[in-house]
Amino acid sequence: MRLAFRVSYIGTDFAGSQQQPGERTVCGEILDAIRGLNLISDAADDACAHFRFSGRTDRGVSARHQIAAFDTDFPERAISKINQKLPADITFTGYAEVDADFNPRYAVKTRTYRYYFPIIAEGEYDLKAMRDCAALFAGEHDFTAFSRSSERSPVREVISSEISADADGGFLVYEIRGYSFVWNQVRCIAFALDAAGRGDLSVADVKLALEDPEKFGRRFPAAQPEGLILWDTECGIEFTPMPENKKSTLLAGSLIRRYSRLKKTAEIWNK
């Protein structure tokens, strides 16, 4: 049987989501848990389980809703035991039986990210300037100035892009939704929005960087990863909720006390 799982993780102590030799990663920990529960027929060969993940996140980036899928002859054990085997900073929050050829990387149609800007002092940010800049990113653009150099095309279509004050007043929340993103795109946009909010970048600057990145002449650096959450991945699956992972709830509480920037991530984790 092929199962898909909705996955959440706090990225602080991971070197990203994808496996890397000698590094602690999200996929590496999930595969260790799968092997530890003997959920695949040949523990020496991960390919036999057709393990797939819906996308990559960088070092330090968290996720509220990723999707993992693999084949197993022991679905009941996978559903009831996997959270007990996973570390506290990863939790499976839902499951669904899917077709044998289901690949979450290609099944996901849209992705939504949120970036949280902590407000340290009153009047720290010009919210109107940030909103005006955020609105410019909607639509199809060349994001060369707002991404890290790669072989992939920098042209992407953004469905929505907006920023607002969080209900508790402690954060500004930037939400961007699109079909796909290039390397560091959301974090580079977040860096530009932060600069605009502090008066170091104008709306005209952002517009020029989108319309003529060559004339603009530089790339924005990426904002700190701890503020970024992969908020949602949409692929039309209805997930059945999983039992609560108590280890993860305890970890979230400790993060609220340890990291001001991760406070929002931890609060989301507890919901």
What gap in Å lies between CA 142 and CA 10, rounded to an integer? 31
The SS3 of residue 30 is: helix
CATH of the domain at 9: 3.30.70.580
pLDDT for residue 271: 46
CA 199 to chain centre: 28
Give yes or no for a contact between 188 and 147, defined as CB atoms under 8 angstroms apart.
Answer: yes
CA dist 25 and 43 (Å) reads 18
Determine whether 58 is an active site residue. Answer: yes
Based on the fold, state whether residues 192 and 210 are members of the same structural domain. yes
Q: Are residues 253 and 215 part of one domain?
A: no
Residue 46 and residue 95 in one domain: yes
Q: pLDDT, tens digit, for every residue of 172-222?
A: 999 999 999 999 999 999 999 999 999 999 999 999 999 999 999 999 999
The answer to whether the beta carbons of residues 63 and 9 sit under 8 Å apart is: yes
Q: Please give the mean pLDDT across all residues of the chain.
A: 88
Counting Cα atoms < 13 Å in the Cβ hemisphere of 41 gives: 8
Mean pLDDT check: name the lowest of 87-91, 176-180, 226-230, 266-270: 266-270
Co-location of 145 and 95 in the same domain: no
CA dist 127 and 165 (Å) reads 8
pLDDT tens digits for 123-178? Answer: 889 999 999 999 999 999 999 999 998 888 999 999 999 999 887 778 899 999 99
Q: Count the domains in the chain.
A: 2
**Phi–psi pair at 199, nearest 5 degrees:** 85, 10
Distance CA 30, CA 85 (A): 9
pLDDT of residue 270: 46
Q: Give the C-alpha separation, 235 to 66, whole Å.
A: 11
Residues 249 and 160 in one domain: no
Question: What is the extent of the structural domain holding 181?
Answer: 110-227
Q: Are residues 24 and 121 in the same domain?
A: no
Higher-pLDDT residue of 14, 266: 14
90 and 128 in a single domain? The answer is: no
**Statement to judge: residues 151 and 243 lie in one domain:** no
pLDDT of residue 201: 96
The pLDDT of residue 220 is 96
89 shares a domain with 48: yes
Residues 126, 211 within the same domain: yes
Distance (Å, rounded) from C-alpha 129 to C-alpha 138? 16
Look up residue 200 and give its DSSP letter. S
- 65/15 same-domain check: yes
- Residue spans of alpha helices (H) in 148-245: 185-197, 203-211, 213-216
The more confidently predicted of residues 258 and 162 is 162
Written as one letter, the residue type at 156 is: R
The CATH number given to whatever domain includes residue 200 is: 3.30.70.660
Residues 213 and 251 in one domain: no
- pLDDT, tens digit, 9 for 90 and up, residues 46-74: 555 689 999 899 999 999 899 999 999 99
Q: Rounded distance, CA 38 to CA 36, Å? A: 6
Catalytic residue among 13, 45, 58, 101, which? Answer: 58
